[in-house]
Chain A
Amino acid sequence: MASGTGFRGDRLRKALRVYVLTDRSLARGRSEREIVEAAIAGGATAIQLRWKTGSLHEAMAIGRELGDLCRASGVMFVVNDRVDLAIALGADAVHLGDEDLPIPAARRIVGDAMVIGYSPATLDDALQGERLGADYLGVGPIYGTATKSDAGEPVGTQRITEVCRSITIPVVGIGGINAENAGAVIEAGAAGVAVISSVVAADDVREATMRLAKAVQGAIGVE
């Protein structure tokens, strides 16, 4: 089973710039494939299959489609929560939270090639995450968000600055980020921004992703 294609170092950092997560409940009836095609066309650099309900049988079928779309465009393909699903899909990365497998356990079965992302709840968790072998962190919620009702109070861009000061692996901000406020997240030290609703729920997913990508690139200072 081919898993991971070596998103490391600068390549990983670039892949984290415009990171789009799927969410069926926000997609307004559009398929994951449709959303992801448009997001990639608009400049998404990473796609995460975020599968919270429904059968893994279906997740496998959809994940295969998304993985193919990502590979064809050099986009990093990430699977949320389930390490076995990530391995079965040959994903580039798996993203873990506190309810998921501990990072060292996941590493034992995914090998060195697969990227492991981790969502720390606190600054201490962030340090711990890096120590345990996470390759990047998702930090948030930066701004208020309706997508994750359990995400807690917004931590602001200040948290990005604090985390980035203490660790060396790249950080993506998540939570309530859109084209208008993405620049501040990058300026605080993030390698990129992760979004759900500002892209997935947009009327024009491609256009929304383009605006986000432009804001990120503007803040990073690249074209």
Chain B
Amino acid sequence: MNSIPRLHLISDSRLCPLDRFAALSRVVACAGVSAVHLREKMLPAGELLAAAVVLREALGGSATLFINDRIDLALLSDAGGVQLGEGSLPVSGARTLLPPGVLIGRSVHDVAGARRATEDGADFVMAGHVYETASKLGQTARGTAFIESIASVVSIPVVAIGGITPERVGDVMRAGAYGVAVQSGILAAPDPETAARSYTEAINDAG
């Protein structure tokens, strides 16, 4: 079993085109990013597979590759994890398709969803959105109280997502988060490597 990563980077081709994402991921993995998620819903599966393979090779063993939603792509790219949402295959079904040790994260938006994810055997939940974020305009920020409410009822790690800056990591982790997931905080930073290092230090300080 892989250990569960604490600092997740999630792709967003609007912020960083996929052809640059692999190289950037490699750099930030050396600065403490421990999971890199390929999450591009609009691409044809063949292109996603090619991107996943490139990303997997770029990362080597430096960070765990997570594929969003698609178990088939995760199998083909030898990913170390999958991230499932409300619309994905059920965690239990996904588990039977994946080799032992592949991590399954489940994205949740309420306490009931987090409970179900735990019962279904997810390795961790990703919960948000904690703060207001440009990538999810119009979605209500739920605040650190939301993380607290989830962390208090589930036994698996809670990874917080949504507008988390290095300065906010301490608050989020004190609320019970095990780790954080980031898009623009790293992808849109003037220096992604420095940003990744700031997150890593903030997580280490809070832990």
Q: Which residues in window 60-114 of A have CB below 8 A to B?
A: 60, 82-85, 87-88, 98-102, 105-106, 108-109
Q: Which of chain B's residues have a CB closer than 8 A to the CB of A102?
A: 45-46, 49
Query: Which chain A residue lies CB-closest to B87?
Result: A55
What is the size, in residues, of chain B's interface with A at 8 Å between Cβ atoms? 19
Q: Which of chain B's residues have a CB closer than 8 A to the CB of A106?
A: 72
B90 touches A57 (CB 8 A): yes
Q: Give the CA-CA distance A105 to B53 in the complex, in Å.
A: 12
B86 touches A84 (CB 8 A): no
B96 touches A101 (CB 8 A): no
Q: Which of chain A's residues have a CB closer than 8 A to the CB of B72?
A: 82-84, 87, 101, 106, 109
Instruction: Answer whether A101 and B49 are a contact pair too, CB < 8 Å, given A84-B97, A88-B97, A106-B72.
Output: yes
Taking the complex as formed, is A1 at the interface, i.e. its CB lies under 8 A from any CB of chain B? yes
What is the size, in residues, of chain A's interface with B at 8 Å between Cβ atoms? 21
Pick the contact of B89 from A1, A57, A100 — CB < 8 Å?
A57
Interface centre among B44, B72, B76, B97 (most CB of A within 10 A): B72
Instruction: Answer whether A99 and B88 are a contact pair too, CB < 8 Å, given A60-B93, A87-B72, A87-B97.
Output: no
Q: Give the CA-CA distance A56 to B90 in the complex, in Å.
A: 8
Query: Which chain A residue lies CB-closest to B76?
Result: A105
Instruction: Answer whether A105 and B49 are a contact pair too, CB < 8 Å, given A56-B89, A99-B44.
Output: yes
Pick the contact of A1 from B45, B49, B96 — CB < 8 Å?
B96
Interface of B, secondary structure class, is helix
Q: Which of chain A's residues have a CB closer than 8 A to the CB of B89?
A: 56-57, 60, 84-85, 88
Query: Which chain A residue lies CB-closest to B69?
Result: A56
Q: Which of chain A's residues have a CB closer than 8 A to the CB of B46?
A: 100-102, 105
Task: For the complex formed, measure the closest distance between the CB of B45 and the CB atoms of chain A, giving whole angstroms.
Answer: 5
B97 touches A55 (CB 8 A): no
Query: Which chain B residue lies CB-closest to A54?
Result: B87
Q: Give the CA-CA distance A105 to B48 in the complex, in Å.
A: 12
Give the 7 A-B CB pairs with smallest separation, nearest first.
A84-B71, A84-B72, A83-B72, A55-B87, A99-B44, A101-B45, A56-B89
9 contacts between A and B (CB under 8 A): A55-B86, A60-B89, A84-B72, A84-B75, A84-B94, A88-B94, A105-B49, A109-B72, A109-B76
A residues near B (Cβ < 8 Å) are: 1, 54-57, 60, 82-85, 87-88, 98-102, 105-106, 108-109
B residues near A (Cβ < 8 Å) are: 44-46, 49, 70-73, 75-76, 86-90, 93-94, 96-97
| Further contacts, 6 of them, CB under 8 A, given A1-B97, A56-B87, A88-B89 | A55-B86, A55-B87, A55-B88, A88-B94, A101-B72, A102-B45
